Amino acid sequence: MKSLLFRLAGAAGAWGLLSCLSIAMAALPPRGVEPVAEIPYRIAYQGWFTVEASVNGTGPHDFIVDSGATITSVFANLAAQQEMPPVAGKSIQILGLTGAQELPAYMLGDIDFNGVAMTDHLGVVLPDWAPPNTPPQGVMGLDLLTRYTVHVDTKDKVIRFYDPSVRLEKRRRWVRTRMKLFKAQGSPSKLYTVEVKVNAARIPCILDLGASGTIFNMEALRNMMTGVRRSPASGPGFTTGSRVKDVFDVSDRAQPVRIQRLKIGGATWHNRIFAVYDAPIFADLGYERKPFCLIGADMFSRRSILFDFKREKLYIGPER
């Protein structure tokens, strides 16, 4: 099982101008249909959607919501406070910027997110980040998210979990695009991708809310060609010497670039700064020489989104 948890240092706040040019009709759960659960969130830990959970009856504990993590897990600071025994002879593969790592499996117990819960859950204990970075206590992954239709409402700052069988109804100015199951090379793990359009380039990108910033590889940059220019690291959204960091607190330098126009389905973003970095993880996923990217939480800071995992659709709301 794999997790893609990236932080883009200094990227929070560089949202730029978002635009949805089409007046399309897409779908949301009908008004009046109650969600299974509604969980408040806040943006914390350098730009991540953060919710609270009860773990084995204790809490609240901070968990980041990560659509690029296939397994719900905890950090060492929480495991140190609880009895979470290792599972003999079992390990779980986790992905970071430097590639894959095998971590021992642990019986994490019961995790409850205000009404959506996992009982006797098996996961991993992620190492804490080194000071001065303060880690959260855990990660909510796809093993929980894909049980539901998930609506991230950035206006009300809540995440609503619906029964996946709920019929969706059309809403004005929402657009949709296809999500594709992505099977990592040499692994049974599955993630979700969407197609990003920049000029003539069509780039598959993992939907990774566990990334506070969006990261393209160098091959993607070469395919974009016109409409893209390098930006100084001290420019908007990047601190001097901007770096990318991952769940293992490994840090490396990224090249900031400004993209004039980027599309996902019918939704358009203008004049945004992104990171370009040939992380070893791209090679592990089989995209060392092919265009690829990670779409992070920065893309949706001012747009609500809905994951319809059952029908493999992503719905994107208008700019707030």
Buried b (16+ CB within 10 A) or exposed e, 60-72: ebbbbbbbbbbbb
Do 44 and 130 belong together in one domain? yes
Q: What is residue 171's DSSP assignment? A: E
pLDDT given at position 296:
87
Query: Which of these three, 161, 190, 208, is where a domain ends?
Result: 161
Do 94 and 129 belong together in one domain? yes
Question: Which pair of structure tokens corresponds to residue 301?
Answer: 């800071």
Q: Is residue 135 part of a domain?
A: yes
Do 152 and 275 belong together in one domain? no
Do 190 and 301 belong together in one domain? yes
Query: Under DSSP, is residue 60 helix (H, G, I), strand (E, B) or coil?
Result: strand
> How are beta strands 158-162 and 86-96 bridged, if at all?
unpaired
Tell me the H-state helices in 2-157: 76-79, 142-145
Q: Side-chain half-sphere of 39: how many Cα atoms within 13 Å?
A: 29
Q: CA-to-CA distance for 316 and 300, rounded, in angstroms? A: 9
* Best CA proximity match to 268, nearest among 198, 203, 205, 211: 198
In one-letter notation, the amino acid at residue 77 is N
Do 155 and 205 belong together in one domain? no
Q: CA-to-CA distance for 31 and 33, rounded, in angstroms? A: 6
Output the tens digit of pLDDT for each of the chain's 320 residues.
334 443 433 333 333 333 333 335 566 787 778 999 999 999 998 788 999 999 999 999 999 999 988 899 999 999 999 999 999 999 987 766 656 678 899 999 999 999 999 999 999 999 998 888 889 999 999 999 999 999 999 999 999 999 999 888 877 889 999 999 987 666 656 789 999 999 889 999 999 888 778 889 999 998 887 666 665 544 434 433 345 555 555 555 678 888 999 999 999 999 988 888 887 778 878 888 899 998 988 899 899 999 999 999 999 999 88
pLDDT given at position 27:
64
Do 172 and 302 belong together in one domain? yes
pTM of the model: 0.84
Query: Which of these three, 136, 161, 186, is where a domain ends?
Result: 161
Q: CA-to-CA distance for 302 and 107, rounded, in angstroms? A: 37
Q: Is residue 172 part of a domain?
A: yes
Do 71 and 122 belong together in one domain? yes
Do 251 and 309 belong together in one domain? yes
Q: Is residue 26 part of a domain?
A: no
Report angle CA 209, 285, 225 to the nearest 5 degrees. 80
Do 190 and 73 belong together in one domain? no
pLDDT given at position 21:
34
Do 217 and 311 belong together in one domain? yes
CA-to-CA dists, residue 133 to 9, 45, 119, 167, 298, angstroms: 11, 8, 30, 42, 19
Residue 17: burial class (beta carbons within 10 Å; 0-12, 13-18, 19+):
exposed
Do 174 and 150 belong together in one domain? no
Q: Is residue 232 part of a domain?
A: no
Q: What is the domain extent for residue 50?
A: 37-161
Q: Is residue 8 part of a domain?
A: no
Q: Is residue 9 part of a domain?
A: no
Do 221 and 295 belong together in one domain? yes
pLDDT given at position 22:
37
pLDDT given at position 70:
84
Q: CA-to-CA distance for 103 and 88, rounded, in angstroms? A: 12
Q: Is residue 15 part of a domain?
A: no
Q: Is residue 14 part of a domain?
A: no
* Best CA proximity match to 9, nearest among 288, 263, 279, 253: 253
Looking at residue 121, which CATH number applies to its domain? 2.40.70.10
6-8: strand order across its sheet: 6-8, 243-246, 251-253
* N residues, the chain: 320
The number of folded domains in the chain is: 2
